[in-house]
């Protein structure tokens, strides 16, 4: 049995008679605000905690230049294993997403438990993720229908 909140779909009439639309907007992403900021942040930490997720030694570089947000993971010790690679998001005209991540030797049970996925899977895991995607709008992004 799956627990959680039910998703509402389609148009509905509210109490006062006004039509309400649920779901994704079909408007294109507006990334113009990213073009007004240029910044670079480097993080070198003995540990990082984000919610229930805990990482050990971490060396990250985050930069925002000309509308492009880049994350470089030089080192991220995570549940007995590690993560390295990069991710990028942005673009002047169309939102683009690119990742090149290598996750290796990670203890699955505490990682998946911290992410709220499950605590029933044990062992070590590895994942290589190389993704390039350029959605044309939010509907395409949600459904992965646009060609890169």
Query: What would the pLDDT profile of 79-93 be if each residue is shown by its tens digit?
Result: 999 999 999 988 666
pTM: 0.66
State the Cα–Cα distance between residues 51 and 58, nearest whole angstrom.
16
What pLDDT does 86 receive?
96
Separation of CA 45 from chain center: 21
Mean pLDDT of the chain: 79
Query: What would the pLDDT profile of 41-58 be if each residue is shown by its tens digit?
Result: 999 999 999 999 999 999
Q: Please list the residues that pair with 124 across neighbouring strands.
A: 107
């Amino acid at each position: 049995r799956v627990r959680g909140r039910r998703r509402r779909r389609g148009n509905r009439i509210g109490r006062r008679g006004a039509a309400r639309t649920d779901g994704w907007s079909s408007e294109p992403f507006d990334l113009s605000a990213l073009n007004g900021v240029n910044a670079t942040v480097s993080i070198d930490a003995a540990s990082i905690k984000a919610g229930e997720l805990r990482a050990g030694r971490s060396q990250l570089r985050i930069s925002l230049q000309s509308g492009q947000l880049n994350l470089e993971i030089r080192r991220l010790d995570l549940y007995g294993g590690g993560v390295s690679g990069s991710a990028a998001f942005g673009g002047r005209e169309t939102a683009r997403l690119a990742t090149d991540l290598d996750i290796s030797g990670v203890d699955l049970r505490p990682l998946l438990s911290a992410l709220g996925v499950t605590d029933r899977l044990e062992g070590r895991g590895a994942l290589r993720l190389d993704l390039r995607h350029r959605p044309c709008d939010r509907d395409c992004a949600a459904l992965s229908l646009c060609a890169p």
